[in-house]
């Protein structure tokens, strides 16, 4: 898998979101998390090889970053799960940003081999404080809304 070094690791998300963190959420701050999961990455890697999977992941990262606002942060680790922290964001704005990302990710991608692929991704939005205040609450809300379990790759939350 390609290095996602340019992305802050998911463990850094806890410090920004959970109460008591360096910039912790007081419980009244509006923010959202977008869980971006590439649903067909494993199939692409099997069919076209690991390099194609790396190209797809780069594409998804670029398109997601390009759809975020300046203050938003995209987190990721070496897997097919990315989480965007959207600062000062209500539910409507989070859904609008998620829609923009879906459109951009869904555009056909030309691989270095010349093959054209369509990427399938799910994007789940959760908003604080409506869906929870702690990172664990927000992860649970995302799972209830259909996101894959982000805790399998994310930091251990208390």
Beta bridge partners of 83: 35, 75
**Residue 144 backbone zone (phi > 0: left; psi -120 to 50: alpha; other: beta):** alpha
- Structure confidence at residue 101 (pLDDT): 97
Residues 75 and 12: their CA atoms lie apart, in Å, by 8
With H, G, I as helix, E, B as strand and everything else as coil, classify residue 21.
coil
Please say whether the beta carbons of 115 and 52 come within 8 A: yes
Q: Can you give the pLDDT at residue 157? A: 43
Q: Is 26 exposed, middle or buried (0-12, 13-18, 19+ CB in 10 A)?
A: exposed
pLDDT in tens, the chain (158 residues): 445 557 898 888 988 887 554 444 555 678 999 999 998 899 999 999 999 998 999 999 999 999 999 999 999 876 668 999 999 999 999 999 999 999 999 999 999 989 999 998 999 999 999 999 889 999 999 999 988 876 554 444 44
Which residues touch 155 (CB under 8 Å, ≥6 apart)? 10, 11, 13, 14
- Fold classification of 29-149 is Alpha-Beta Plaits (3.30.70)
Exposure of 143 in the CB half-sphere (CA atoms within 13 A): 10
Q: Per the structure block, which two tokens stand in for 13?
A: 């998300």
Q: What global pTM score does this model have?
A: 0.86
Residue 25 has a pLDDT of: 54
């Amino acid at each position: 898998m390609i290095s996602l070094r340019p992305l802050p690791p998911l463990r850094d998300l806890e410090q920004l979101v959970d109460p008591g963190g360096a910039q912790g959420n007081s419980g009244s701050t509006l923010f959202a998390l977008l869980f971006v999961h590439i649903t067909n990455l494993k199939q692409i890697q099997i069919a076209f090889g690991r390099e194609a999977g790396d190209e797809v992941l780069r594409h998804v990262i670029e398109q997601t970053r390009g759809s975020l606002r300046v203050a938003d942060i995209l987190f990721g680790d070496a897997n097919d799960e990315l989480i965007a922290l959207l600062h000062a964001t209500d539910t409507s704005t989070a859904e609008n940003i998620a829609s923009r990302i879906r459109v951009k990710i869904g555009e056909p991608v030309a691989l270095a081999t010349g093959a054209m692929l369509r990427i399938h991704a799910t994007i789940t939005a959760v908003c604080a404080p409506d869906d929870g205040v702690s990172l664990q609450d927000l992860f649970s809300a995302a799972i209830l809304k259909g996101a894959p379990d982000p805790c399998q790759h994310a930091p251990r939350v208390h």
